[in-house]
Each structure stands twice: as structure tokens, then as C-alpha cells.
A and B are shown apart, each in its own frame.
Chain A
């Protein structure tokens, strides 16, 4: 695991963005060669604050992605399990997920894999924990009865199959979850801990998120920042892609 500790939310976001950009450029995507970026799912489609709106406003409208290359789980599909199975097939057909980017909940969940989710689970319909329902109530005018109690989600196993996983964790309210994820054992009550068994994980966090970690852990990884920063500097661009591709090896491995 690489633990990247930045001072605050903006710096953490910027580091993560630069890292993703470099990874995409180094991969050298082109016709027939897709860089598959995985992101966790969210609210149902027909809600005005839906995940689709969120993704459009914060991501898709700023880039030149073709709509056919966007696959979002459809919570309104007639057969939900078939929808989930088809999603797994699409991932395989796209060559597998190159990089999965996600956050964690205060209860340590990745995507909607709430505490108790199997660590080898696949894309499926999942019941939501009360905490998540309460957190989502703000999108439904605070009316708990309107908040969906189930969601479609990629499974822990699905994310484990990605070639690389990046988890973004910011804020003091996530500190305990981060501690459980990296300093305690692998446990299905804190599903993010599953990534301790993934060969290529990057955790990007801010100072506040490290509040429950051992000073020793924090000092160790802060000491590695000089080396870690080589992953974001220099910032590659598609135009220089050809020349740089030969130097695309990472400076060190885990």
C-alpha cells in the first residue's frame, strides 16, 4: 500500500487528480485500447440529484468521453440481478478495470459494501445500512421514508479484481475508518480492509483523516512523500505520450 498524506482536502484532491491523469496517459489509451476507470455507484437514476447528474456535472461534461463508453448501473432495470450480472460481463469485455477510484464511509465501507458484506462479493443488489440511509436523507428533503433502502453496487471482489485501487479519504470523521482499514486486520465489518490483500493500492488522505493512526505510521509514510511525489511530477500529457512511454515504470514497487 502507498499512503499519501496531504495537508488538506484540496491538496489531496489535486494529488489524486494528477496521479489519475498520469496513469491514463502512461497507459496510452486509443481505439480498442480502453482505460477502464471504475467508480462506485450512488442514488437512483430518476432522482434530480441522481448519480447521473452528479457524474455529468462533475466529470463527464468537462471531458470528451463518448456516451457509449459510460456504463452506470441502472437501478430501474426490470431484472436487477441480471443488470448486475451484465455489468460484470461488461467489465470483463472492457479488459477489466485498470484503476478503481473510491472513497470510504465512516463505517469503512467501499462502494455500498456495508459492514458484513462478503469480501469476495460481486456486483449485486445490496441493502443499505441505517447510517447510509440517514446520510442520504438530505437528498430527499430529510424524509427518511423516501430514501431508497437498497442499491446496486460493485462488490468487494469486483474491486479487488481491478489492476489498481485508489481510495480517497478526507476529514476527521473518516479517521477511525482509515485506522481500521490499514492498521487493523482484514475484517468484513470494515470492507475497505480487504485491500490489504491487493497488490496495488494507493490511499490518498488529508491530515485530519490520519488522526486515529499511530504517529509511527504517519511519520513513516510522510517520510516517503519525496518518492511518492515522483508519481505526479512530471505531469504527463497525451502529446508527449510517445517519448515518455519508455520511462513509464514506477520508481519503486510496494
Chain B
């Protein structure tokens, strides 16, 4: 067929025989891709009189937007909170390996560390698109050190700090640079947190509440100043109390500014949260649930000892504790197991489970116009899954970057 496309000569790929997640539903539709973006076939047909160059049969797979992990501390032996000489290759390794979990974009997360670590590591993290080399880096997630001593969890106490003296300037001095920072987790009950939250929000950085003993009004005030996320709900915060629900109460708070939504991360690995608690949170505020792995260096490796920043962590099956204690520290869960576990534990629809790992994190970061959906003109980052939600193939910008090896069948 002669080239009849008036807009571009780039090849057009049509993915057929699939069910795509669009408008919150699995629809039996073809997915069209050109130049790394999802293409509108109707416009192509009528306006450009164009048609597909390549048709791929997806064998009735489910196609969902690529997963976005906004809290991942490392994996495969790499620890993002360790300032090593080959830090960059560590990021590269993790970004490449998580493709097989269906993750197409992520936020490398740093736990509470001394300022020297931030000063060395942060300049080596750059926002970049994904591709065959690995998942895209959206920016760093800095979890600490401005968190509560009582809820430090696995974070090292000697590195905790406050910003009482100089508020935002203290924070900036600690981190060194905020250039590639996407999310900051802090405890809102700390003095001068409101100013800090405002300054961070003004710079387009998402502020998350976590590792905190804040009560509900302190949390609500933080939200009013711009906070939009809760770091691993239930963990490292005061438990829900019926007369003071604490941070958990944000899920049903009536003091959230109009037009805004509070999102909350959940590690649905079956360990961090009892399935009943997961269900309570999901039912209270389904549209805010964001699946995160909180994975640590030991993810993807054999059980044993690994580091998490300044701490040593022991892995035993799916449990990850600070060595010699019963304090949970991160997880070894992968994003796709989180999606499956979430779907099983809550009995929610496949669409809901998939959106918790794609649409919701994209909405949290304000990038849903190009990530997290299969809408026309979005980036063509997607995963092919079978009916049991196991990842069969991962695509970034319309190119296949990982495929399940079917040899030995």
C-alpha cells in the first residue's frame, strides 16, 4: 500500500486480539501505536486515510498501562541509599530488572541517610525516559530524615533531623539539591512543617506524610498546605483510633481542599498489612490507593543479609527485618505480585487492581496526561498480562523491552 499518511511516515503498529484497559474497563479493542505514543485509529482512518503497517496478534492478552512504582529502595543487590562509585550502574541494573515485573516508570527511593549520602547520590539520579535499557526514572523519593523518632521503623535514629531552625533552608542544605526529586516523605507534626510543605509543593514536589505520630488535625493541616500522599498507610504511624483516627483518618476526612485527592501507598505483600486492613482502606477510599513495593536490595536475591542504607537487613522468605529484630524494613515484593495479592485480598475487579499500580500513581504525580493510561496521545508504556495477571511482555514507547521466556514448554 502506498504511503498515504499525511501526518507522519513512522510505522504504525496495531495490537489485535487483546483486551485493553481504557476508561476504567477492559474493552475488546485494538491498540494502535505510532512514534512511541498511543494512536487514535479513527483519526488515522478518516483524517489521514492511513492504516497499520504491522499487526500483532496478542493472543487474547490483557493490555494494561505500565506499572509505576513510587517507592522502591533498590533490588538485586543494589541499595539506592548507599553512595557507591558505581551508583549509576546500580540504577541501570534495577531499572532493567524491574521490566519483568511490569514496571515501566519508578522513583528510586532513599531512606534516612546522612547529608553526605544525599550530596553524593542525588546528583547521580536523573529523570529519564525508559526504553530497552530499562524503566523510566521519574525522580527520587526521599523518605526521611525529617521524620518522627517514635515511628522511625527501620530508619537509623542517628540520622534523623528536624527543620526547626531554618525550615526549608535546612531541608535544602540536608539534601543538597532538589533538582531530580519527585517525592519527599516527612512527619507533619514537626515544627515548621507547614512552611516546608508549601515550599516543596511550590517546586512541584509531591509531599507525603509518613513515619509520623501526627494526629488527624495535624495531618489535615499538612494536606491543606499541599501534602497529597501517605507513605505506606498503617505502617510507621499511629494506629487508627475512633476518637483520633490520625493520618489514617485522611482517607475519609472532610477537610480535604475541593478538587484535591489524598493518595496513599500500600505495600500489598501480605506482610505489611493484614488483608482485612487492606480491605478497610480500599473500601474507605478506593480511588486513592497506590500500590508500592517498598522493595529493598534483597529483592530478587536469595534469602540472607543485605543492606538498607545505614542498616543491615535480614531476609527470610517474604519477611524482611532489621537484622536481629522484628522491625519490618522494606519488602522483597515485586510490583506484579503486589497487584495479584491486592486483587485476591480485596476481591476487587482486575481493572481496579491494575489501576492501583498505574493510573493512581500517575495521578498522584500529576502525569496522567502521558503515563498511567492507554488514552490517545499517551506514552505507549504498557504490559501484556494473562488472565491471572502474570506479566507476559513489557513495552516502553511502543517497543517490546521484555518478554516472558516460553522456552522449555
Contacts and interface: CB of A to CB of B under 8 A. Distances in A.
Nearest to A69: B49
Interface stretch (A32-40, A60-68, A209-217, A223-231): A60-68
A30 to B, nearest CB: 16
B354 to A, nearest CB: 24
Contacts, number: 27
B43 to A, nearest CB: 9
A222 interface: no
A208 to B, nearest CB: 30
Interface string A119-148: 000000000000000000000000000000
Contacts of A67: 4, 45-46, 48-51
A204 B166 CA distance: 81
Contacts of B42: 52-53, 56-57, 61
Contacts of A70: 45-46
Contacts of A68: 4, 49
Given A61-B30, A61-B41, A66 B1 contact: yes
Interface in A28-83: 52-53, 56-57, 60-61, 66-68, 70, 72
Contacts of B51: 66-67
A149 B30 CA distance: 36
Interface residues of B, number: 11
A61 B16 CA distance: 11
Contacts of B49: 67-68
Interface string B41-59: 1100110111100000000
Interface of A: 52-53, 56-57, 60-61, 66-68, 70, 72
Given A67-B4, A70-B46, 12 more contacts: A56-B42, A56-B45, A56-B46, A57-B42, A61-B41, A66-B1, A66-B51, A67-B46, A67-B48, A67-B49, A68-B49, A72-B46
19 contacts: A52-B42, A52-B46, A56-B41, A56-B42, A56-B46, A60-B45, A61-B41, A61-B42, A61-B45, A66-B1, A67-B4, A67-B46, A67-B48, A67-B49, A67-B50, A67-B51, A68-B4, A68-B49, A70-B46
